Amino acid sequence: MKLLVKLALVVIVVVIAWWLSSRERAHDTSSPATNSPSITAVDPQVGAAEPLESESREVAPVQATRQSDEQVAASSPLPPHAENEQRDIEVDVSTLPDLLLFCCLVDGETSKPIGDGVVWFDHSGDFIPDEEGDPRDPEAHDPRDEIPVRVDGTFEVHAKSWKERFISAKAPGYARVAIALMPGHESAARRLEMRLSRAATLEVVVFARGSAASNAAVVLSTLSYYLQQGDASVHSYGGDDPQWRATTDASGRAVIAGLPAQVPLTLSVQMGNSTRAPPDPVVLAAGERKQIEFEFGSGATIAGRIQDGAGAPIVACPIWRVVARGVSPMLITGDDEAAQTVVSDEQGRFRFEDVPEGEWLIGSPANPEEDVDLEDHEAFAGLAQWVKVEADARELTIVLQVDRGLYLSGVVLDPTGAATSDASLTVRAIAGLFLSNEPNAQGHFAFGPLPAGTYDIHADGGARSFAPSDSAQVKAGDSDIVLRFTRGGSIVGRVIDATGKPADCQLTLVRADPVEEIPRSARGGNFRFDGLHPGSYSLRATTKEGLCGRRWEVTLVADQTIDDVVISLSPGARVKLVNDGKEDVGAYQLLFENHLWASKRIERDVPEEVIVPSGDIEVRWYNADLTLAGSQRITLAPGELREALRSKSQ
């Protein structure tokens, strides 16, 4: 028995000695070993990883593994080390919840608590198709992601800030909302309110030649970011776009409930090869029930022919009918949604039946190839034709003309004049065309086939020290286009609050000449703008809490990095801009200390609220053609909200 006790004591002593020795080694920075530092990454939930060898340098790569086997790479600054020195470095990778927020569910109209809601971590940004290949139900979620809600509507969120950025909520009789998880609600006294709106209902009634039409497909959709509550300047919700589907019954009715309020909803109804859609999105009030009727079989006929510049027919060509976005000819692309499709016959003829009243684009969708064959002179593209169908119209006739064998081609050069493939090219046209591509290994690029017309093309990307090329105005068919990067610079800095701590914010860099605005989110208060043209710049910063800061006239020269820019935040004010002018659409500019603070187009009777510095603000109002309509000056105290009105006389 005594022997067993002695053995046990020996084992305990050995274990303690080994533990003390290992702790000493972990903090010893001068023990001799190999020519390179040894880095050990430790995960709190996993344990020590294998030592990682690195060359002798001041920044060493670190890699660890979470429980999910996800690889995590990082860089850790190291002080200079001596030859033959060994170091054991412990790196903690945060995998436990590090964010605690106090929240509550309330009615958006009455502010009364909602105790029967469901809240969950929203991972719907990960696109997961169902078995048929369609997007999954955006409200579907893993029950393990749900967060318990008390009967008084309160709940707490324990989140991993590096992984979980949004939560969604819904309740019986209420529509879903999403909200970003942001600091500032770490106590019960500052709970984050999720304000739910009463769900709306849409009833669609479909007739075919005066009789109720069954089995018509009804589809409603909206963009996911419309579901986000609160400020989206730092985290913008990018979940799956919600979609609701229904089929009309024997009475021609389809009812879709649970719809969000004050959100633009795109509605379409399809019967066979024909589709009906209202000209504008449907917007419903909280709790509203609305009925919309559609009639099939009483529309007009659009007949036409598609041909090339020589009058030769384009055979077996798909022709689309698309809701018009204006009165000018435009380019239809694969991103457009066809209300109806037909195919031209051997003489290039086509025919759309049962076309409802409205404004339409009729044309062949353009699909410019990424791998362009400049020798293919038969490839074609053309602009769609605008057509207006009046209520009493019976038949309209049009001719569509396309252009064959027109391309844009050239080369991208770096600032030294050498060809480079490290670039991204963008082509724009007034006709609604937007294309992007990259040059090949020799720096050559090509776009097409394209419709005849004028295009704007430029190159950006490239090395961090390269500024984008100047834009070139070219015509379809031009070759030997040269786009050349220029020597640029960088602006680096940080944003701090009144205590000197880094602050998340929405940052905008403004170039003075020509005027250009580059928005960016500054997480952790740090920001960096690379590839800037030499010139004068200003920076402005705002937070959702109403803080703001600025830095005027930062002058940058080629090959320069300005890395000491500090923007201090202070309480700002708010301006509510209301356009009550003569035109449906205008524009405004806000100036502070004779510098541009904000500018935007604004619709009549659609107010805009902007965070501005406290003090004297000049408001300039512009017409749709950007001619000055009038101006006014207002003085704002910190935290004040003031309305700036463009009157009917302006």
Task: Please indicate, yes or no, if residue 15 is contained in any of the structural domains.
Answer: no
Q: How far apart are the first and last CA of the chain?
A: 103
Structure-derived torsion over alpha carbons of residues 186, 188, 193, 198, reported in degrees to the nearest 10: 150
Cβ atoms of 469 and 483 within 8 Å: the answer is yes
Of the candidates 458, 447, 438, the one whose C-alpha atom is nearest the C-alpha of residue 373 is 447
Q: How confident is the model at residue 586 (pLDDT cuts 50, 70, 90)?
A: confident
Domain endpoint, select from 568, 596, 625: 568
Residue 88's pLDDT is 66
Considering the domain architecture, whether residues 476 and 506 belong to the same structural domain is answered as no
Q: Could you report the per-residue pLDDT of 103-144, keeping only the tens digit for each?
A: 999 999 999 999 999 999 988 754 444 444 455 566 778 888
Using the predicted structure, report yes or no on whether residue 411 has a pLDDT greater than 90. yes
Tokens for 363? 């044309």
Considering the domain architecture, whether residues 278 and 354 belong to the same structural domain is answered as no
Domain endpoint, select from 92, 114, 133: 92
Domain endpoint, select from 92, 123, 145: 92
Considering the domain architecture, whether residues 272 and 203 belong to the same structural domain is answered as yes
Residue 568's pLDDT is 96
Percent of the chain with pLDDT over 70: 81
Phi/psi-derived region of residue 94, left when phi > 0, alpha when psi is between -120 and 50, beta in every other case: beta
Using the predicted structure, report yes or no on whether residue 39 has a pLDDT greater than 70. no
Task: Please indicate, yes or no, if residue 5 is contained in any of the structural domains.
Answer: no
Mean pLDDT is lowest, of 43-57, 102-116, 187-201, 513-527, for 43-57
DSSP state for residue 315 in the 8-state scheme? T
The residues pairing with 547 across neighbouring beta strands, listed in sequence order, are 571
Q: Could you report the per-residue pLDDT of 415-470, keeping only the tens digit for each?
A: 999 999 988 888 887 666 778 888 999 999 999 899 998 999 999 887 778 999 98
Considering the domain architecture, whether residues 368 and 394 belong to the same structural domain is answered as yes
Q: How confident is the model at residue 179 (pLDDT cuts 50, 70, 90)?
A: very high
Using the predicted structure, report yes or no on whether residue 34 has a pLDDT greater than 90. no
Q: Could you report the per-residue pLDDT of 588-646, keeping only the tens digit for each?
A: 999 999 999 998 888 877 888 999 999 999 999 998 888 999 999 999 999 999 999 88
Helix (H) or strand (E) segment spanning residue 19: helix 2-27
Q: Could you report the per-residue pLDDT of 534-560, keeping only the tens digit for each?
A: 999 999 999 988 999 999 999 999 999
Considering the domain architecture, whether residues 194 and 244 belong to the same structural domain is answered as yes
Q: In what order do the strands lie in the sheet with 585-592?
A: 595-603, 585-592, 615-622, 628-636
Instruction: Count CA within 13 A, CB hemisphere, residue 637.
Output: 1
Identify the residue whose tokens are 């919600």.
242
Considering the domain architecture, whether residues 325 and 193 belong to the same structural domain is answered as no
Considering the domain architecture, whether residues 564 and 582 belong to the same structural domain is answered as no
Task: Please indicate, yes or no, if residue 141 is contained in any of the structural domains.
Answer: yes
Considering the domain architecture, whether residues 430 and 524 belong to the same structural domain is answered as no
Considering the domain architecture, whether residues 55 and 181 belong to the same structural domain is answered as no
Tokens for 218? 């009804």
Of the candidates 418, 288, 301, 313, the one whose C-alpha atom is nearest the C-alpha of residue 356 is 301
Residue 558's pLDDT is 92
Q: How confident is the model at residue 257 (pLDDT cuts 50, 70, 90)?
A: very high
Using the predicted structure, report yes or no on whether residue 93 has a pLDDT greater than 70. no
CB environment 130-145: b (16+ within 10 A), e (fewer):
eeeeeeeebbebeeee
Task: Please indicate, yes or no, if residue 9 is contained in any of the structural domains.
Answer: no
What's the predicted TM-score (pTM) here?
0.59
**Residue, of 44 and 200, whose pLDDT is higher:** 200
Task: Please indicate, yes or no, if residue 552 is contained in any of the structural domains.
Answer: yes
Considering the domain architecture, whether residues 504 and 590 belong to the same structural domain is answered as no
Using the predicted structure, report yes or no on whether residue 64 has a pLDDT greater than 50. no
Helix (H) or strand (E) segment spanning residue 445: strand 444-447
Residue 206's pLDDT is 95
Using the predicted structure, report yes or no on whether residue 347 has a pLDDT greater than 90. yes
Q: How many domains does the chain have?
A: 6
CATH number at residue 624: 2.60.40.1120
Using the predicted structure, report yes or no on whether residue 153 has a pLDDT greater than 60. yes
Task: Please indicate, yes or no, if residue 10 is contained in any of the structural domains.
Answer: no
CATH number at residue 177: 2.60.40.10
| Average pLDDT, integer, range 209-227 | 92
| Average pLDDT, integer, range 553-574 | 94
Percent of the chain with pLDDT over 90: 52
| Sign of the CA dihedral running 106, 110, 115, 117 | negative
Collapsed DSSP state (helix, strand, coil) of residue 325? coil
Cβ atoms of 115 and 173 within 8 Å: the answer is no
Residue 297's pLDDT is 83
Using the predicted structure, report yes or no on whether residue 25 has a pLDDT greater than 60. no
Residue 571's pLDDT is 95
Residue 77's pLDDT is 59
Range(s) of the domain holding residue 496? 489-568
Q: How confident is the model at residue 52 (pLDDT cuts 50, 70, 90)?
A: very low
CA angle 467, 470, 471 (to 5 degrees): 135
Task: Please indicate, yes or no, if residue 227 is contained in any of the structural domains.
Answer: yes
Residue 256's pLDDT is 96
Considering the domain architecture, whether residues 163 and 245 belong to the same structural domain is answered as yes
DSSP state for residue 471 in the 8-state scheme? P
Considering the domain architecture, whether residues 279 and 352 belong to the same structural domain is answered as no
Rounded Cα distance, 631 and 614, in Å:
18
Task: Please indicate, yes or no, if residue 7 is contained in any of the structural domains.
Answer: no
Tokens for 529? 């703008």
